[in-house]
């Protein structure tokens, strides 16, 4: 079995838990996932199966779309509602101001990685420093918020403000941090209450399957070829040179998906970094016989 399975991840389990469960249901060992979701989060989790595990790098480079629930007036150590509350305040901010500052988040900026994350500093995961109570200079990453908007009414409850946002963001963006940064723009504090990923690249939640549906054999595996439909295809007359990983002249100036005369996928080539007049193998999908 080779291809991609889009799962609607449930709340209160890790992405690895989902992989392990699907592996057990389908009796498949070669399986992975792209784009980890926190236990709190639900929605699109793209699983790669068999030879499709080679697609992980390609799939994770795409933009991701989320619906996030925000609470202003609370701050936790994890930047989401599951953490320990470290500060509270009453908040009274008008809808117009909230919408104005949300619009300002549509940009590229250096985002600080949250302390409770698996990003490594000096070979050690940040959450390990947090659990040990050790201070560490948090790294920053350049992230792009391509789209962001208010998608719900604003509720004012017991001095707190609640609303939902939709955002389309680049790889590596932490929505918890985005909400923290938005709260800072609003001169207050805030946390993420809920998070649902509704799209990753071309994979949407409307075409995903729950674990219960997968258990009932009600699912569809997306073929590798369909996942590579954005790449230019070339039928080669010399299958052996592709299967041998031969470096070729670059007459395309873009990644190329090579197929044989039987329309079988052989390999995905890309421009050679050391010499842009050449293209080299990027992902091999068929072994030489």
CA-nearest of 25, 17, 20 to 42 is: 17
Q: Annotated catalytic, 249?
A: no
DSSP label of 158 = T
Q: At a CB cut-off of 8 Å and minimum separation 6, what does 126 contact?
A: 113, 114, 115, 116, 117, 118, 119, 120, 136, 138
Query: How many whole angstroms separate alpha carbon 77 and alpha carbon 199?
Result: 28
Gap between the Cα atoms of 199 and 46, Å rounded: 10
CA proximity to 34, closest of 172, 229, 214: 172
Phi, psi of 176 (to 5 degrees): -60, -45
Task: Pick the catalytic residue from 8, 17, 38, 62.
Answer: 38
Of 141, 64, 144, 140, the closest CA to residue 108 belongs to 144
Q: Which residues lie closer than 8 Å to 5 by C-beta, 6 or more apart?
A: 22, 46, 47, 49, 209, 214, 219, 221, 222
3-state secondary structure (DSSP) of residue 246 = coil
Interacting residues of 155 by C-beta distance below 8 A, sequence separation 6+: 161, 162, 163
Q: What are phi and psi of 54, to 5 degrees?
A: -75, -10
Looking at the annotation, which residues are catalytic? 38
């Amino acid at each position: 079995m080779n291809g991609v399975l889009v799962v609607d991840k449930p709340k209160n389990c890790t992405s690895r838990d989902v992989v392990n469960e699907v592996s057990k249901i389908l009796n498949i060992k070669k399986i992975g996932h792209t784009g980890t979701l926190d236990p709190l989060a639900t929605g699109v989790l793209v699983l790669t199966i068999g030879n499709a595990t080679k697609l992980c790098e390609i799939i994770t480079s795409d933009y991701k779309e989320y619906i996030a629930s925000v609470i202003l007036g609370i701050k936790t150590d994890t930047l989401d509602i599951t953490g320990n509350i470290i500060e509270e305040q009453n908040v009274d901010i008008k809808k117009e101001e909230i919408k104005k500052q949300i619009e300002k988040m549509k940009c590229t900026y250096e985002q600080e990685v949250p302390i409770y994350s698996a990003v490594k500093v000096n070979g050690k995961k940040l959450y390990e420093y947090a659990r040990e109570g050790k201070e560490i200079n948090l790294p920053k990453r350049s992230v792009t918020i391509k789209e962001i908007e208010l998608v719900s009414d604003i509720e004012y409850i017991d001095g707190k403000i609640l609303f939902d946002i939709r955002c389309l963001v680049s790889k590596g963006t932490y929505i918890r941090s985005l909400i923290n940064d938005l709260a800072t723009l609003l001169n207050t504090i805030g946390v993420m209450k809920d998070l649902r990923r509704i799209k990753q690249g071309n994979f949407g939640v409307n075409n995903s399957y729950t674990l219960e549906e997968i258990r009932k054999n009600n699912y569809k595996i997306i073929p590798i070829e369909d996942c590579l439909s954005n790449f230019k295809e070339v039928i080669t007359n010399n299958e052996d040179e592709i299967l041998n990983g031969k470096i070729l002249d670059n007459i395309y100036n873009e990644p190329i998906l090579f197929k044989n005369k039987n329309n079988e996928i052989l390999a995905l080539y890309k421009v050679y970094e050391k010499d842009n007049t050449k293209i080299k193998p990027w992902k091999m999908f068929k072994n030489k016989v």
